[in-house]
Structure 1
Amino acid sequence: MRSLVAAPLLVGAYGVARVIDGLDGSRGPGPAWTVGHLFFLAALVLFVWIFGRLRTMAGGGVTATAGYAAGLAGALALAAQFTIDIVVGFLSADHDAMGPHFDAVKAIPGVEPVVYTVVPLLFYVGMVTLVARLAVLRRVPWWSPALVLVQAVLPMASKDLIPLGAALLLLAFVPLMRVRPARPVALARSPF
């Protein structure tokens, strides 16, 4: 399960690139902006696979499927967000020129909640749900979902904490590397 290692490392690489990008007092456009965003997009591809695997490890069922669906929706929204960021970076001569491009994108009805504020949060809701489900099934220790939750909340305090969050996520994923898929959850049979 190399993806369980690679995805957090790519998120950490994004966080480091983001810190480096901000050393001059502004973020984007430029190589650190673009490379960092590409790292995160690569991580999202791996997370889509990871979410499917976690759903299987949890044996399917309503909770695991809901977590998978939420995670997938959030990953798609984040992929759209990061793709827009890259395109805006390429279209802009400097940081100040990025603002009008972002304003134009966000002015499109529905883009703000779908791509920037509401739906991206489902990525983290899905991830926490899937790992928590495995903890309820006693397939991973209680601290795995706790660390996943902490890493999801850390960037709200400061996005400069993304590398620390990525390290916590990697630690949270260690027990997952030993989990085998569970048997599918059986649906109740009707007596009729």
Structure 2
Amino acid sequence: MNLGKVSFIAAPALIGAYGVARLIDRQSRAGWTFGHLLMLAGLVLFGLVIVELRRLAPGRTSTSFAAIGLIGLAASVAQIGIDIVVGLLARDAADKQHMFQQIQQVPGVQPVVYTVVPILFYVGLLGLTVVAAVARSAAWWTPALVLAGTVAAATNLDYIPVAGALYVLALAPMAFRRIRRATHAIA
């Protein structure tokens, strides 16, 4: 099984694991760093998910959604990277808050890294799953589960584990479907 196929399961599972780690330990430096490293790994693997989804449903629309998703993903990776660095450098919670305020006051950082551009990842992911479902490369319910997971996480960050589970349910069948196709092609 190659990394592209594994990413359909590992990426959302790591996002869900970040959510669990966040619920268990929000205060300690080790807990913060561990959780954010899980999130970073999940986001990196979601880059592979986007590329694989683009392959499942080729075309201009799919290419556009992949580009949108990758732009949003880059912003999300930047956000998590900042979180990790600040978490490691801050002496305490007050220092962490002060550092975040300084970073977010830099013109353009707030919309590009925190509020607007990261949303494009979810728009691209949802768009790609819709295109894949229309092309019958994904089940009809795949986009519905991706949307439900996105809404859950957007509603309350404490629901990130739910979002991760919904993303696994949405994306895992495509990994197994691709594995079966590869197995049949070899035989």
Q: Distance in 2 between matches of 1:167 and 1:30?
A: 26
Q: Which shows bigger deviation, 122-131 or 155-164? A: 155-164
- Judge conservation of contact 1:70–1:123 (CA < 8 Å) in 2: yes
Counterpart AA for 1:117: T
Residue number in structure 2 paired with 1:186: none
Displacement, 1:175? 2.7
Counterpart AA for 1:14: Y
Q: Distance in 1 between matches of 2:60 and 2:97?
A: 42
Residue number in structure 1 paired with 2:46: 47
Q: Does 1:4 find its partner at 2:8?
A: yes
- Judge conservation of contact 1:29–1:95 (CA < 8 Å) in 2: no
- 2:82 maps to which of 62, 72, 84: 84
Residue number in structure 1 paired with 2:185: none
Identity of aligned residues (%): 49
Q: Distance in 2 between matches of 1:120 and 1:170?
A: 20
Structure 1 unmatched runs, 5+: 23-27, 182-192
Q: Choose between structure 1 and 2: higher helix proportion.
A: 2
Q: Does 1:19 find its partner at 2:17?
A: no
Structure 2 unmatched runs, 5+: 183-187
Instruction: Give 3-state SS (helix, strand or coil) of 1:93's partner.
Output: coil
Q: Distance in 2 between matches of 1:89 and 1:29?
A: 9
Instruction: Give 3-state SS (helix, strand or coil) of 1:142's partner.
Output: coil
- 1:150 maps to which of 124, 148, 151: 148
Q: TM-score, normalised by structure 1?
A: 0.87
- Return the index of the structure with the highest Cα Rg: 1
- 1:108 maps to which of 97, 106, 116: 106
- Judge conservation of contact 1:74–1:122 (CA < 8 Å) in 2: yes
Displacement, 1:20? 1.1
Q: Distance in 2 between matches of 1:80 and 1:174?
A: 26
> 4+ residue stretches of structure 1 with deviation over 2 A?
none
Counterpart AA for 2:25: D
Counterpart AA for 1:4: F
Displacement, 1:99? 1.3
Instruction: Give 3-state SS (helix, strand or coil) of 1:78's partner.
Output: helix
